[in-house]
Structure 1
């Protein structure tokens, strides 16, 4: 479970960095694009094999990393639109609730275990994500014409996690995990640079050094969040339908407490109820297999 813990901590640091972006007026799009290259570099440093750029396109998992790199950019763009039109809470709910997709994928395609305790734990995890993410008393409201955007974020985020699971199970050798992960970020960065070039041609690009610094700060934890998640998925004896909900609900918990400690965020009663659901769901999911014996 150490890799899962490291993935959760990395993802929670990302939350802190995004909060600091807002405080220091960092351009999120530019910082995220720059971060992909630093995440790629972090992967190259972790990889103990000699770097061979010509070999990467010949790998069996390369097409999958190209799809994931595109999905990283696309989901981010859709999340930005959703935030503008429906609010941050809607994005948070759509992103975290998408855990249902890889969980169902693991159960039906890989015949992973279910059981009453595990199912209840997953349902509680979804409740936890929803209640913890809602920061307004009135809940969330989405206009019909804007509903397509959170739905695309939901399915896009779920497809990313599901594709990660499929690729690491089917194509990625143990010694290629770092290279596989860094390649995803490298491709996402190249696509992102194309976006910046288009902005430059249109005359709407305003580069700033602090956006580069924001990318550097984000790069390492962003790489860690995916790299350690892939390693967690490869851990023997722990199913992906257990890993994904544990990962998501733990990120929600840790991020919430970091928001309270570092940014003095106020919690509504429903948020505390969500934390309670989170604790119970972690216990149920983590011990489900013992109950089945």
Structure 2
């Protein structure tokens, strides 16, 4: 349980950092690239296993790490487009509602338990995600459609599902740091390609501010993934239960932080959503 709690806290920290990115006008793409480099370095610096870089492409989890690295960068862009066209609330809901995808695969691929109590808890949790995330006032572009929210929903769900599959079948417990570091290194490579293409169109200085922001982001980003993987490796903890609790708890903590730290508006719907989220987590945990 401690790994899950730590993953939730570090994941919530990412939302707080992204909020400050907007306040201080950080170039998010550049900060994301630096963040992946930092997480890559941490993964190999903190590993307890002996390894050589030449061995990494031969690891059984390398293909999975490559897919996840590409998805990390792709979903980042989809998330940005969804926020711009459909609004932040829709982005939050689409990203967190995606928990139904790993839950579905957890039940059918790993024969995880299905009880009435668990189903009720998951339904309550999904309703709570919407209510806690929706804002009374939101700016939605005239060009808003379902394409980007749907892509965000599917992509976010795919990341959790593939992460669970690779972790279950190919990642030994003592290789978590190497796997995580490789995953972020591959993501950094994809982000570098995007940056190069972007710089060909418009050249501009990288900026010390963006480097510092990336370093600040990289540390919690690394630990959010490492602790999530360690939580998935905990015996007796079904992934359908873990992903539900993880996603909904992040919504709760992020909403409370937004209220207390950033003085965000907290409507009746948001309050009901947080209350239902707590109820949903309790029911799923008991199930």
TM bucket by the smaller chain? over 0.9
Q: Distance in 1 between matches of 2:123 and 2:88?
A: 23
Query: Which residue pairs with 2:136 in the alignment?
Result: 136
Could you tell me whether the CA contact under 8 Å between 1:124 and 1:278 is conserved in 2? yes
Q: How many residues align?
A: 287
List aligned pairs for 1:86-235, cutoff 5 A.
86-136=86-136, 146-235=145-234
Q: Distance in 2 between matches of 1:141 and 1:94?
A: 15
Q: Distance in 2 between matches of 1:247 and 1:255?
A: 12
Q: Distance in 1 between matches of 2:144 and 2:86?
A: 11
Deviation string for 1:218-270 (max 9, x for gaps)?
00110111111111011001100000000001101111111112111120100
2:256 is the alignment partner of 1:257? yes
Q: TM-score, normalised by structure 1?
A: 0.94
Could you tell me whether the CA contact under 8 Å between 1:134 and 1:140 is conserved in 2? no
Could you tell me whether the CA contact under 8 Å between 2:85 and 2:144 is conserved in 1? no
Could you tell me whether the CA contact under 8 Å between 1:90 and 1:140 is conserved in 2? no
Give the root-mean-square deviation of aligned CA atoms: 1.5
> Following TM superposition, by how much is the alpha carbon of 1:169 offset from its aligned partner in structure 2, in angstroms?
0.4
Q: Distance in 1 between matches of 2:205 and 2:145?
A: 29
> Following TM superposition, by how much is the alpha carbon of 1:83 offset from its aligned partner in structure 2, in angstroms?
1.1
SS state of the match for residue 54, structure 2? coil
Q: Distance in 1 between matches of 2:67 and 2:116?
A: 35
Moved more, 139-148 or 24-33: 139-148
1:205–1:65 distance in 2 versus 1, CA, 3 Å: farther
> Following TM superposition, by how much is the alpha carbon of 1:198 offset from its aligned partner in structure 2, in angstroms?
1.2
> Following TM superposition, by how much is the alpha carbon of 1:98 offset from its aligned partner in structure 2, in angstroms?
0.3
Structure 1 residue runs without a partner (length 5+): 289-293
Q: Distance in 1 between matches of 2:270 and 2:177?
A: 36
Q: Distance in 2 between matches of 1:48 and 1:113?
A: 34
Structure 2 residue runs without a partner (length 5+): none
Q: Distance in 2 between matches of 1:95 and 1:260?
A: 20
Query: Which residue pairs with 1:266 in the alignment?
Result: 265
SS state of the match for residue 50, structure 2? coil
Moved over 2 A (4+): 139-146, 203-206
> Following TM superposition, by how much is the alpha carbon of 1:52 offset from its aligned partner in structure 2, in angstroms?
1.4
